[in-house]
Structures are given as C-alpha cells and as structure tokens.
Structure 1
Amino acid sequence: MTLRRQLSALVAVLFVPAFASAATYDTVNFRTEAPTARLAKEFGDKAEEYRREKALEWTGREMPQWPSRCPLQVQITQGSAGGATTFTFGQEGGRSVVTSIRMEIRGDATQLLNSVLPHEVTHTVLANYFGRPVPRWADEGGSVLSENDDERFNHNVRCRELLNAGRGIRCRVLFRMTEYPKDMIVLYAQGYSVSHFLVAKGGDGREGRLKLLQFLGTGMQGNSAESWNAAAHKVYGFESVDELEEAWLTSLKTPPTRVVARDTTPPAGQPTSARSPRTELRTSAAPAVPVLEAPVRVRGATPDREPSRPSYLPEHGSTPVAKPATPNLPVPELLPPELPRPVSP
C-alpha cells in the first residue's frame, strides 16, 4: 500500500515536478534535488545527519541502509514552509516493511533545514520501525517533537486555544484514527501535545520515546478501545485512555514556557562585559482555560496557513496576551468527530 503524509504546514501545496535547472546530490540514502549544487549538498548531508540522529533518539540504534535512495526534492520559496513524504509498504520475509520513500519540502531554506526536514525524516524513522502506517496523531505529533523550539511552542499554544474553543478530539477517538480528520489542524496541535506529555511521562529523552513506541505498538494491535486501554495500563499505569486523557488535560493547566535568546550586545564603542553577549529570556503563554460555551465544530474548513510566525501569536519581543486564569473551571470537554474510514490496503 502507498501512504502519503500531509504537508507539515497544514496547507495544500503543489510541488513543481522538476526544476528548470536543478542540481542533484547523492548520499547513501538520499538523492537530493535542489535549485543549486550548494543547496543540494547542504540538504542531502543534513538529511543523512537527521536520519541517524532521529533514529538514535527514538530507537537507540541507526536504521539500516535503505535498498534504494529516497528522492528528496527541495524547493526554496517565500512564505509558508511544509513538506510531504510518501511511503510504499510491502512484505519481506513475512513481515511488513517500507519498500520505497519519496520526500518533498518547500519554503524558506532556514525553516526547511531547522524544522521541516527533521519533521519529515522522523516520519521515516517511525514508518521503518513499525513497517506499517503509524496512527496519525502519533506520526505527526512525534514528528513535531523534532521541530525547533519556536514551532513546538507554537503548537503548545495552539493546542490550548483549540481546546478552549471546544475543538478538541477525545483521546479514545484520536488514538484510533487511521486517516486525517477534516479539522486537520487539531490533529497536529493535539497530537503533538499528547505525544509530548507521554514522552515526558515515560522519562523524557530516549527512554520516553521508547515507551511511546511501546504504547503505540500495543495499541495498534487491534486498534480497538480495549487495545488502547491495555496499552495505557501496561506502559503508563493508567486504568484507561480516559484516565490518561484526564492526566494530560490536568498538565495543560500549567502554561507552556520556552527560553528565547535576547541579544544584549552593547552598541559600538561601548565596553563589553566578560560574560556572554546573550542572555536567556523565558516567555510563557496562557494555560488551557475552557470557554464553557457551545463547542465549535469545524468541518471541511481549510486550515489557516502556517507562516514562519503564525498570526495568532503576538509579535516577537512583545508580551504575550494572557487571558485571566480561572482555575476553578473544569477542564475542556472534548467532542469526538466522525471516525474516518480505514485506509484500504
């Protein structure tokens, strides 16, 4: 079967099939096509680096060499950045394996190198580990874990906004999804938030990622309410997915934080101090405080574009606008959407 991963930027992007004058660069596992020879080499080498790094982060070992190179097409553009990875799954020696991969990325070069490329490469690590399609929430959520600090913070903030608007998906429904929902932006933000919570619950770092893989492997066996409840109990000690969900929602009452660098280099002509010219400034966003109104159901709407700085966040350097916290309000009620039909093999 063939599986095509959606764009990381949550927008439908039409990729140019070939550049008028593109350069190609081959590494062990990638054949990279980019506008210039320098970019082709830079992205090809970086793809190999991420392939090794992400495999070690998730599984503790490198992936074996792929039987054929993965075509990696790089298009440098202004505005939104995103990517798409296509997998073909087959059988080898009686087990399911990935038989081919194709990757396309488009956007600002820096954004592609720092967030989109590691995101797409993480898809390949998860697909190769299981040899089959990974649940959508974990595939996207786990891949967002590979993005830079700003992008992860943005997803953290967005998840809280969506929950407060009543657009969340019950975990018992989310975990069993085999296809992207119509309200796809929820899948990315909530999938990341739940993945981040479970990785931290499992011990953070490699240990936390390995436990998440164990949780997925157990839940995917049957992909039923019973299998996911069993996975929640076996791996994390929760009695059920509902109890896991309650713990996750409770964790969202703490506002997300990030550390951003602030340049403190003195003006020209003034003496510099002996300490580092950069200091760390910690910023935070509002916690998840539910709006107890009729939930908003969005069906068939096109997700808003994902620029380098999403419009729903304040400008860089400004103080985030936080709604007054109301700790006594209950956590958000998450409503299940329709379960998409399974992908036919």
Structure 2
Amino acid sequence: MGRKRGVLVGIAVWTGLAGAWALGDSATVSLLIQQARREAHACLQRGEPGTAVRVLERQLPHINGDAAYLELLAQAYDQYLAELHRLGRMDLVATYLERLAILNPARARELRQKWQLSEPTQKSPRIVACGRLDDELGRGSLPSNESWCLLAEETFLRGQYSQARLYYWRAAQSRQSLSSLQQQRWAYCSWHDIAQLLQSSNASPCNWWVALLEARAARQRSPDWPFAHHIFQEVERRHSSDLLPIRHLPQPQNGWYVSESPHFRIYHHNASLAEQVLRLTELVHAVNAWFWFGELVPPVWDSPAEIYLHPDGDSFHKATGVSPSIPGFSTLRYESADAQRVLSRRMDFRADAPDLLSRLVPHESTHVSLAGRFGPRPLPRWADEGLALLAEPEPLRQHYRQKALAAFQRAQGLPIEKLLTLEEYPATFDPEVFYGQSALLVEWLVRQRGPWTFVQFLSQGRLLGWEPALRRYYGLQSLQDLNAHLRDLLSLPSDQPIPITLPLAPTPHFHAATQLHVAGWKH
C-alpha cells in the first residue's frame, strides 16, 4: 500500500489543493470527499466516466487511503478505459492502464491481455495534468471564446477555481443555460474565492458587500454545505464590523483638507461628509466591477481618482468655471490612441447639493469607475449615461423613462441610429429625454442577454459597427429591429418589467448628511 499511496499522491500534485479554499478544517475536507463521490457516482450513471475520473482525482491529496474512494476510482478507470479503447485513443489507454494497475493490478493485466497490449517497461509513473481537456482534444479543437460553459468546465477540472468562477459567471450573465452540476461547481468556485478574500489582509468593507452579494447567489446554487454556512457568517460579520481605511493628511494643501481611501483622494472642508463620500465612491467602484465583470475585487488604478467637494455654488463656479446650477460633474482624460489608458479621473461636487449622496456621487462615480473598461475607444454617450443612471434612485429613472415615453408619443425622440452614434450630448435636445432613452436602451439590452453580453456588445460595437454587433450578440438584423423592440417596450408603460438596478448597499450614514444640509449646513 506504501507504493500505491505514493504514486497516487504524485498524480495528485497536478490536481491542485482543492481543500485550501475551505479554511483547512477536517470537516470541510470530509465534505469535499463526500461531494466528489456523489458527483462521480452521478457521472458514471450518466455514462461520463472521464468526468468521474477527473472529479475523483481532484481530491486524491485528501483521502488518506480511503479504501472505498479508491475502489470507486478504480471502477471509473475501468469504465473510462473501455470508452477510450472503443474510440481508438490508445495513447490514453496506456496512461490510464498504468493508473488502474496501481489500484487493481489484476484487472489491468486482464485488459492488457484482452486488448493484446504488451506490459509496460519499468519506469517512473507517468504523471499527466488531470482534468485538462486539451489532453483529449486534438490541437485546433479548443472551445471558442463564446463557449463560456465549456471554458468553465475545463478550468474547473484543472483546479483553476478563480478563473472557472469568472467563466461560469460569464456563461450565466450571457444567458447560457447551466446544468445543476455546473451550478454547484460555480458555487464551489464562489466559496473558494470568498474564502481567499477572507484570508486577504487588503480587503475593505466594500469588498465584503460584494462578497455578501456573491455568497447570497452561491447559496442558491449549492447544496447545504456546512463550510459554506461558516464562510457566509464570517462575511456577514466582516461586512457589519469592518471600517473603510481612510487616511486624513495632517496638513492642508492649497487651502483644502485632504483625505484618502484605497482608490480615491478627496479635497474638502468637512471631514465627516468627506468620509461619507469616500465610502460611497469605494462602494460604487466595487459593485460596478462585480456587476459588470464578475470581479470580487475592483481594479487598482495607477493614481487615485480625485474628488473636489466645493462648499457651495459660488466656490464651485470660481474653481471650475461651471455654472452653479450644475451640482456636479466628472472629468476623464484618456490617452489619445487608447481609451483603455485613463490618464486622470476627477469629480467636482457642490457639497450643499441636496441629492449629493443619493444621486450625484453614485452617478459620477460610475462614470469614473467604468472608464477605460470597454475597449480602446471611449463609451458612446448613450451607454455612458445609461450605465451611470443604473446607480441612481429608481424614482428618478422612472421620471426619465416617462419623459422618453412622452417624447415617443409626440414623435420627438432621437432616432435609434442617431442615439447610438452620438459622440457629444445633443445640444438642442431635452436632456431628460436623452437620459430616458439611454436608460431604456441599456436596461432592455441587459435584460435580453445579461450584463456580460452587454459588455461585449459595447466593447465590439465601435469596432465591428453597431449593426454587426447587434447581429452577433443579440440576433437582431438591423437597427430598425432594435427600434421596433424599443417601440413595443414604450407602448406598454403599464406592464414594465422590474428595472435593472446597480445593487448598492444601504448605508445609514448617508441620510444624516442630507439632513445636515436641509438644516442649513453650508460650510
């Protein structure tokens, strides 16, 4: 048994340490082994012995000589060998005969005699990367970039759980259908990444809100795993107790007090309000990365985004040259040849704006957070504003939709071909109608094929052209087809679907700042 166990551990080196994400306790390892057995039994019953082999090999480092587990693995090898021999894959037959010989030498000899194969020469055991689909697919047979389910399965069986989670997410957020087993594997990957985040020293409260969103979704996809319950409770605890790291510089700079969070630097005259703005901008940044790209941790920029919190309209106008009637705006500078390289991010706000925290900061922070993430050209105006509107309160978005509906009924809306190609805001057009049309278009596209398809559509639309991108990602043949769908949507205002909304965390601190302003706070 000493040689058998040593060789099995050698094979298992390639499979990865699947238990590392499960916080390392013996109960968790036992659950993983039980889950592997259940999956393998199900695979064998479905006539998928190759998948059963990969599932069982994944947990070999943790079975500690479990005889029943090894017997099931030998059975899976036996059935898989029969399949490989039937397909003429004699190269793989030799590999798996060696593995079967470790567990059941008599059965391996029997198969060699049956298939008239010579005994292997004595050599070190052949170790292959278990779970790599390209071991069994010829070159040129790799899945296309749009086959997210296949990519997810391949990377999962390699033990690359973080990458597999993104692929499963992309499949689901492209409205691809996932089987029950794939749903469970996706959940497995989610718990793996959340556990890694728990072990990180750099996570912030905004990460915990995103982790909580991910954990809630994973609970719907996974069996009642005790270790998952433990992880969920710890994420809830961290979310409710951890504080955002904010650094207040001791000395003012050019008449401003300066405070910093991981991604933002704010210039202000009120530390309490500045902290609330920083919490909110960090939250918006984290949620946008998760909602649109499936990322549990948002990207780090070369330099922090700057925020200027001007005390009132006069100071706002004096510093920016913008009319005091405008409560806030964002400024983004890109490299001229590549909008994916953002040179600077800045937001300017009037601190006395009544909707500063409820609307302005989420809206402008979304512009800043998503800049540079959709390919080498800046977003078209309709998409840029439509995405930012998803962070605003739903009653305000409904107001914009009603404006768009009224304009549509008067035949005064922007034609779809003009809306899609606008490079600047329409100077002589009602901005509320423009916002309403943009919101409706973004919501409709996301609702049809999910966030990830929408991201791809935006990334490719300005390269392929909007009509080819519509055909590729939405199955629509022309802009007229898209326009017809939007007209149908606008003609049924009383039967609107549930709006798409960026899932920002409720934060009790925000209400207090608004009350300060209502009570007359100015400086």
2:336 and 2:443 mapped to 1: Cα distance?
32
| Residue equivalent to 1:337 | none
Match of 1:220 in 2: 462
- Which ranges of structure 2 fall in alignment gaps of 5 or more residues? 1-251, 314-323, 499-523
Identify the structure with the greater strand proportion.
1
- The higher relative CO (CA closer than 8 Å, separation ≥ 6) is in 1
In structure 2, the partner of 1:97 is 341
TM-score by length of 1: 0.61
CA shift for structure 1 position 238? 1.0
Shift of the alpha carbon at 1:128?
Answer: 2.5
> 2:409 aligned with 1:164, yes or no?
yes
Displacement after TM superposition at 1:245 (Å): 1.0
TM-score by length of 2: 0.41
Residues 49/96 of structure 1: CA separation in 2 closer, same or farther (3 Å cut): closer
Matched, 1:70 2:314: no
CA distance in 1, matches of 2:485, 2:497: 22
- Kindly provide the amino acid, as one letter, of the partner of residue 36 in structure 1: N
Note the C-alpha offset of 1:187.
2.3
Matches for 1:19-38 after TM superposition, within 5 Å: 22-38=256-272
How many residue pairs were aligned? 232
Selected match of 1:198 from 440, 445, 453:
445
Q: Assess if the C-alpha contact under 8 Å between 2:366 and 2:387 holds in 1.
A: yes
1:194 positional shift: 0.9
User: Does 1:252 find its partner at 2:490?
Assistant: yes
Kept in 2, the 8 Å contact 1:155–1:193? The answer is no
Q: Please give the per-residue CA displacement for 1:19-39, whole angstroms capped at 9, x wherever unaligned.
A: 997532111111112331101
* Residues 30 and 194 (structure 1), Cα distance of their counterparts in 2 relative to 1, 3 Å cut: same
Q: Secondary structure at the match of 1:86?
A: strand
Deviations 1:285-324 (A, max 9, x none): xxxxxxxxxxxxxxxxxxxxxxxxxxxxxxxxxxxxxxxx
Letter in 1 for 2:458: L
With over 3 angstroms needed to count, the CA separation of the structure-2 counterparts of 1:258 and 1:231, relative to structure 1, is closer
Computing the radius of gyration from Cα coordinates, the structure with the larger value is 2
CA distance in 2, matches of 1:49, 1:32: 15
Please give the per-residue CA displacement for 1:271-294, whole angstroms capped at 9, x wherever unaligned: xxxxxxxxxxxxxxxxxxxxxxxx
Indicate if the aligned counterparts of 1:83 and 1:103 stay in contact, CA closer than 8 A.
yes
Greater fraction helix: 2
Partner of 1:138: 383
- Could you tell me which residue of structure 1 aligns to residue 330 of structure 2? 85
Amino acid in the other structure paired with 2:380: P
**CA spacing shift, 1:82–1:163, aligned 2, 3 Å:** farther
Indicate how the Cα distance of structure 1 residues 245 and 102 shifts in structure 2: closer, same or farther if over 3 A, else same. Answer: same
Which amino acid in structure 1 is aligned with residue 487 of structure 2? L
What is the 5 A alignment of 1:1-345? 22-61=256-295, 62-75=297-310, 82-90=327-335, 96-106=340-350, 111-130=355-374, 131-182=376-427, 183=429, 185=431, 186-202=433-449, 208-221=450-463, 227-255=465-493
Do the aligned partners of residues 196 and 107 (structure 1) sit closer, same or farther apart at CA in structure 2, a change above 3 Å counting?
Answer: farther
1: CA distance, partners of 2:311 / 2:468: 45
Cα RMSD (Å) of the superposition? 2.9
Deviation at 1:176, TM superposition (A): 1.3
The offset of 1:44, in angstroms, is: 1.1
SS in 2 for 1:98: strand
- Structure 1: runs of 5 or more not aligned: 1-17, 203-207, 260-345
- Cα deviation, 1:16-71, whole Å, max 9, x if unaligned, reads xx999753211111111233110111111211111111121111114321111211
Q: Is the 8 A contact 1:238 1:244 kept in 2?
A: yes
Matched letter for residue 192 of structure 1: A
CA distance in 2, matches of 1:161, 1:31: 41
